[in-house]
Amino acid sequence: MWDILKMQWTREPEKYSIQSDRIEITTMPHTDLWQRTYYHFRNDNAPVLQMETEEKFFSFIVKTDFSESGHRFDQCGIVMYLDSENWLKGSVEYENEEFQHLGSVVTNHGYSDWATTAIPADVKTMWYRFSRREDDYCIECSQDGEHFTQMRVCHMWEGAGKIRFGIYACSPEDSSFKAVFTNLEITECAWKAHDGQQPD
């Protein structure tokens, strides 16, 4: 069961609101999560609100509303932040008036990747489902909260034991917006075991 009181900040933002069924985060300019790859810089200052668990099989669902985003790279979504060099995130990143990036970043041992697909700029809400099966993870998205599609399956090298997971919001450039999170829920693992050939 989701318990808002169990969530703790990593880098508490200056302006936010937490209610039992709604969390609002107002981003600060020049906040982001990224490590090394391609751009060579390292950004590790985005506010993250998470809870801790040792449960090996579960799913976490949240609805994000980013209606106020309107500057390049404004983003909010789900996160599993273990430390500065081991984390993953899923979000929609604003690009321009025509399109934005629906994508995910996985960072293992200090190197980030970025897998994206373009979606229309008029999409202003997105649901995410983050699922754990031991040290493997799945990120899914949905526009209605009912029908989820896979964004990413990944392995986290430091994700086998106790983890922290939750939500984040940031504005990497000179901007700020209010991100709204609702419908937070923990369920049994919706990412079922593979029904094909078993590994050797």
- Say which residues have a Cβ less than 8 Å from residue 16's Cβ, sequence separation at least 6: 23, 24, 25, 26, 47
Ordered structural domains, the chain, with CATH: 4-187 (2.60.120.200)
Distance CA 114, CA 100 (A): 14
Identify the three-state secondary structure at position 4. helix
Q: How many CB atoms lie within 10 A of CB 5?
A: 8
pLDDT digits over 39-62, tens only?
778 889 999 999 999 999 999 999
Q: Give the chain's radius of gyration (CA, Å).
A: 16
For residue 96, report the phi and psi dihedrals to the nearest 5 degrees: -160, -170
pLDDT digits over 61-109, tens only?
999 999 999 999 999 999 999 999 999 999 999 999 999 999 999 999 9
Contact 115, 121 (CB under 8 A): no
Distance CA 136, CA 143 (A): 24
pLDDT at 39: 78
Distance CA 11, CA 7 (A): 13
pLDDT digits over 107-141, tens only?
999 999 999 999 999 999 999 999 999 999 999 99
pTM for this structure? 0.95
Burial class (CB in 10 A: 0-12, 13-18, 19+), 48: buried
Summarize the confidence of residues 156-178 as an average pLDDT: 97
pLDDT at 199: 57
